[in-house]
Structure 1
Amino acid sequence: MKKNPLLFLALLIVLFSCKKESQNCEISEEVQAVQVDLKIERLEDLLFEAKGQGDISYFLESHPDFSAKYLQEDLYPSKEALISTLIEIPNDTLMQELYEEVTAEFPSIRQVEQDLETAFKHIKYFYPSFKVPKVYTFVSGFTSDIYLDEDMLVIGLDYFLPNDHRFQPPEMPEYIAKRYDKDHLVPMIITAISSVFNETDLQDNTLLAEMIYYGKAYHFTKSMLPCTPEKFIIGYTPAELAACYSNEDFIWTHLIEEEAIYETNPFNIRKYTGEAPATDVISPDAPGRVGRWVGWNIVDAYSEKNNIGLKDLMTEKDAKKIFMQSAYKPRQ
C-alpha cells in the first residue's frame, strides 16, 4: 500500500468533536462519598532544609519506607554512609538551583493532590480493597520520575517542570519530554496503576494484544479521571490527536491491508506501539504510538457496544474477543 503523508497534513479539525471529550465528567455522589486518606508530603523540603546530620537522620527514621525502597538504603555500607551522601545534596549548587526552580513551579501541590484524590476515590469505588499509597514528592536530580508500589508513590517533581525549562531530564528525547509536565502527571500515575488490574493472556504476543492492553490502560485512566482531556491521557498534542481522528480510516486500512494486527515480531510491533517521534511505518506524519490510540478506540467500542463494566473489561484477557465483539469501524 502506498503511504500518503499528505493525509496527515490535513489538520483541519483541531476543534473536533470527540466522544471521549464530550462525556459527562460529573463525579457521582457515590464516588464522592468514598473515603480516602491522602496527604502528599513534600520530602524535598525536608532534605533541602536540613541543617545537619541530625536532621537527615531524623528524616530517614521518620520515613523508613522511603529510605528502604526509594533510596535503597541496603545498597550503602551503613546508614551513616547514606546520611553522608544525602547531606551533600543541598550543598551542590546545581541541585540547590533545581530545588529552587521546582519550588517556584510547584509552590503548592494541592491541585495534584485533588486530582489524585479524585482518581483514588474512583479506583476504590470500583475496587474496594484498593489501598491508597503514601504519596511523597521529591527532587531526584533526574534519577527517578515516578516510583510506585502498592504502599508508596514518589513523584520526582524535577521531571515535571515545563518542557521549555532550562532544566530538562538528560538523554530523554524531546518527543517524550514534551509530555512531562503538570497536566500529564496524574494521568501517568493512574495509567501505571492500571497495570495492577489489567489482566492479559501472556501467550498472545500479537500486535493486536498489545494494542488492546494499552487500550484497556487508557480506558481505565479515563474512567478514573473522567474530567481529564484525552490528550493528557495518551500524551498527544491537539494537532496530533486531530490528525489521528481525521485519518482514522487511513490508519485502520493500513493495519488491515498489511495484516499488521497479527504481527508477532517484537521489532515490528514496536513500530506501531513503541515510543517514537512518528509511526513511520504508516506515515512520517503519524504521531508515535498510534497503535495504542487505535487500541483505545477498539476497547471503548467493545465496552460501549456490549455494555461491559470496567471490572469485567479489565479482567477480559482475550484480545481477539474484544476486537471481534467491538465491531470497531473508523468514524467517517
Structure 2
Amino acid sequence: MRIYSSRYLYFSFLLILAFACGKKEESCELSDDILGQDLTLKIDRLEQDFFSAKSVEEFNYLLEAHPEFAKEYLQMDLYTSQDSLASELLAIHQDSAMQILADSVAGSFPDISDVEHELENAFKAIKYYFPEFQVPKVYTFVSGFNSDLVVTDELIVIGLDYFLPPTHSFQPELPRYMAERYDKPYIVPMIVLAVSARFNETNPADNTLLAEMIYYGKSYHFTKAIMPCTSDQFIIGYTPEAIAESFANEEFIWSHFIENELLYETNPFEIRKYIGEAPFTDAISTKAPGRMGRWLGWNIVDDYQFNQDVPLDVLMAEPDAEKIFRESGYRPRKPNQ
C-alpha cells in the first residue's frame, strides 16, 4: 500500500504547523523547581589547548590535567607510554589540514555559551527526575572527523568538526540523510538521547520489533521530557515536513505493521528495515522517512505515559514492552485530528 498520496497533501501542510515543534505542547517551560537547582556546567574547550600546544612536554601536561579525557577518549591505555601518545598528538595537531579544520571550527564556534546553557538546563532536568545522576565533565574537541560524540558516565566529548554548518566546505563522510542531522541545534538533544540509555530498562529476552520500537520510543520521550521546548525535528532527526506527513499517514503506517504482523517479528534483517538507519523505510514507501518503527514507538510510549500518567522515572524503569503497548491504548491519529 502506497502512502503519502496527494489525497492527504492538504492535511500535510496543516499538520506541519501542528507538529513541527512537537506532538503535545501543553507547556514547554521547565519548572522553577528544576531550573532553581544548584548546578552549574562549564564546557572545557580542549581543542583550543591542544592546538596551542607546541611540544611533547605540553601535550603531556594536558594529558595529566585531563586524565578522564586521556583514558576514555584518547584511549591512552593502548599506547606503550604517555610519551608515545603525546608524540602522536603533536604530529597530528601540527598537520596543516588539521590546523585548517581547527581554524574552521574556531570560526564557526567562537562562543558556545548557548549550547552550555541548554545542556546545563537539560542536566538539571535529568537530575530532578533521576537524583542519582552525576553530571559528567564536558569537553569539546576537533577529532579530524574520527568521533562525533562520546558519552560516558564520567565525561562527554563533542567533536565540533562534525557539527560545522551544513554549508561549510568541511563535512563528515556520511550519507546526506544523516549528515543533515549534524548541525548545532542537534548537539544537546543527541547528548540527552545518549544519556537516556542508562535509565532505559529493557527485557534482554525480548528480541521483537515491538521491543525495539518501545526502547527507542522511551528514549525519544525521555529527551522530549528533558527538553520540552525542543522541536521533534532535533530529537528524531526528521524534517518538519516529514513529521507532518508521517502524522498525516499514521493510519496507513500502522496498518502496514498490523497487516504484515510485524510487532512480534524477531528476524534481525526484518527489524532493521524499520529500526535501522536508512534514507527511507522502503518496505512502507520510498517517501516514508527511515526509522519509521522508532517514530511509531515514540507515539505508543507517549500514549502510554499520557493514559497511565506514569512519572518519567517509572516509565524508563519499565522493561516490559508488551505491557507498555497494551496499556498505551494506542490508536493512530486520523488526518483531520
The TM-score bracket by the shorter chain reads: over 0.9
Q: Which residue number in structure 2 is paired with residue 249 of structure 1? A: 251
Corresponding position: 1:38 with 2:41: yes
CA distance in 1, matches of 2:316, 2:123: 17
Tell me the amino acid that sits aligned with residue 306 of structure 2: E
1:119 corresponds to which residue?
122
Task: Give a deviation string over 1:7-35, Cα, whole Å, max 9, x none.
Answer: 69834335331363523111211101222
Partner of 2:191: 189
Structure 2: distance between partners of 1:64 and 1:20: 42
Q: What is the DSSP-based 3-state SS (H/G/I as helix, E as strand, rest coil) of the residue aligned with 2:258?
A: helix
Report 1:295-306 matches (<5 A).
295-306=297-308
Name the structure 2 match of 1:58. Answer: 61
Map 1:1-332 → 2, pairs under 5 A: 2-4=1-3, 6=5, 10=9, 11-13=12-14, 15-18=16-19, 20=23, 22-170=25-173, 172-332=174-334
Instruction: Note the residue ranges of structure 1 that are not aligned, 5 or more in a row.
Output: none
> Contact between 2:3 and 2:249, CA under 8 Å: does it hold in 1?
no
TM-score (norm 1): 0.96
Per-residue CA deviation, residues 165-198 of structure 1 (Å, 9 max, x unaligned), is 211112x211111101111111011000000000
Contact 2:276/2:290 (<8 A) preserved: yes
Match of 1:285, SS?
coil
Q: What letter matches 2:195 in structure 1?
A: I
C-alpha distance in 2 between matches for 1:49 and 1:95: 13
Output the CA distance in 1 between the equivalents of 2:220 and 2:248.
20
| 1:113 alignment partner, SS class | helix
Partner Cα separation in structure 2 for residue 14 and residue 238 of structure 1: 9
CA distance in structure 1 between the partners assigned to 2:329 and 2:15 by the alignment: 26
| In structure 2, C-alpha distance between the alignment counterparts of 1:160 and 1:117, rounded to whole Å | 19
CA distance in 2, matches of 1:164, 1:113: 23
Aligned residues of 2:144 and 2:161 also touching (Cα < 8 A): yes
| TM-score (ref. length: structure 2) | 0.94
Cα RMSD (Å): 1.5
Report the residue type matching 1:12 in the other structure: F
SS of structure 2 residue aligned to 1:123: helix
Where 1:262 maps in the other structure, the secondary structure is: coil
Tell me the distance in 2 between the aligned counterparts of 1:89 and 1:296.
Answer: 42
Q: 1:8·1:247 contact (CA, 8 Å) conserved in 2?
A: no
Q: Secondary structure of 1:136's partner? A: strand
Q: CA-to-partner distance for each residue in 1:66-104, whole Å, 9 max, x for gaps?
A: 111211112112221111111112321110111011111
Change in Cα spacing, 1:212 to 1:8, as seen in structure 2 (3 Å) is farther
Contact 1:13 1:246 in 2 (8 A): no
CA distance in 2, matches of 1:51, 1:21: 52
CA contact 2:15–2:248 (8 Å) conserved in 1: no
The answer on whether the counterparts of 2:4 and 2:249 sit within 8 Å (CA) in structure 1 is no
8 Å CA contact 1:273–1:292 kept in 2: the answer is yes
2: CA distance, partners of 1:178 / 1:62: 35
Question: How many Å separate the matches in 2 of 1:46 and 1:142?
Answer: 18
One-letter identity of the residue aligned with 2:169: R
Once the 2 structures are TM-superposed, how far is the Cα of residue 51 of structure 1 from its aligned partner?
2.7
SS in 1 for 2:300: helix
CA distance in 1, matches of 2:6, 2:316: 34
Aligned length: 330
Sequence identity (%): 53
- C-alpha distance in 2 between matches for 1:192 and 1:151: 13
Q: Return the letter of the residue paired with 1:280.
A: D
C-alpha contact (below 8 Å) 1:215/1:297 kept by paired residues: yes
The CA distance in 2 between the partners of 1:217 and 1:43, in whole Å, is 29
CA gap 1:74/1:220 in 2 versus in 1, 3 angstroms: same
> For residue 6 of structure 1, what is the amino acid of its counterpart?
S
Distance (whole Å) between structure 2 residues aligned to residue 254 and residue 154 of structure 1:
40
Q: Distance in 1 between matches of 2:5 and 2:168?
A: 33
1:5 CA displacement: 5.2
